[in-house]
Every structure is written in C-alpha cells, then in structure tokens.
A = this chain, B = another copy of it.
Amino acid sequence: MSASHGYIDNKDDYLKRLRRIEGQIRGLQRMVEQEQYCIDILTQVSAATKALHSVALGLLDKHMAHCLVQAAAAGGEEADRKVREASDAIARLLRS
C-alpha cells in the first residue's frame, strides 16, 4: 500500500527538489552548448550530484522511519528482507 511510503508526506518537497535538479542538468547542457570552461561545468556537476545525494539521504531516512520500522514491528522475514534491501540501496549509493 503506497500510503506506507515514508516520503509521501513530503512529496511536494521532493518534487520541488527534483525539478530544481532537472534545472541544474539543463543548465549543464547550456554550459556545454556555449562551450563554457570545463572546471565551471565540473563545479555544477558536483552541485547536482550533491543535491541528488541529499534527496537520496532524505528518502532513505523516511524509508527507515516508516517501511523498515513497520516491518520490524510486524517482525519475521519481511523485516529481514527490508533490511537487506536498505543495505543494498546504501551500498549502491556509496558506489555511485
């Protein structure tokens, strides 16, 4: 049931942040189009990556606070599966 997703309460906030990141990516395209200086483009790439990581950390926090805690309260294999899923997601983030 989607209502259990932790981030839903902040849906508008996440959408706003993702739209801002979309704007940053379009800004990067303009910079490349206009043949701007590589280092300036890299600065913008770092800013967009940082913003994406911040979104990820927010989602992960909400995920643990809701989905994981609910599964843990219910107990059993579902909790194990949720922990494994979260661990894998964190590992992917760290390697991205």
Q: Which secondary structure dominates where chain A touches chain B?
A: helix
Say whether, besides A22-B22, A56-B46, A93-B45, A87 and B69 are in contact (CB < 8 Å). Answer: no
Q: Which residues of B contact A46 (CB under 8 A)?
A: 56, 89, 92-93, 95-96
Shortest C-beta distance, A19 to chain B (Å), equals 7
Q: Which residues of B contact A52 (CB under 8 A)?
A: 45, 48-49, 52
Contact partner of A39 among B22, B42, B63, B91, CB < 8 A? B63
Number of copies: 4
Shortest C-beta distance, A94 to chain B (Å), equals 6
Instruction: Specify which of A21, A47, A85 lies most central, judged by the most chain B CB atoms within 10 Å of its CB.
Output: A21
Measured in the bound complex, the distance between the Cα atoms of B52 and A7 in whole Å is: 24
Measured in the bound complex, the distance between the Cα atoms of B64 and A71 in whole Å is: 12
Contact partner of A49 among B3, B7, B62, B96, CB < 8 A? B96
Measured in the bound complex, the distance between the Cα atoms of B37 and A21 in whole Å is: 20
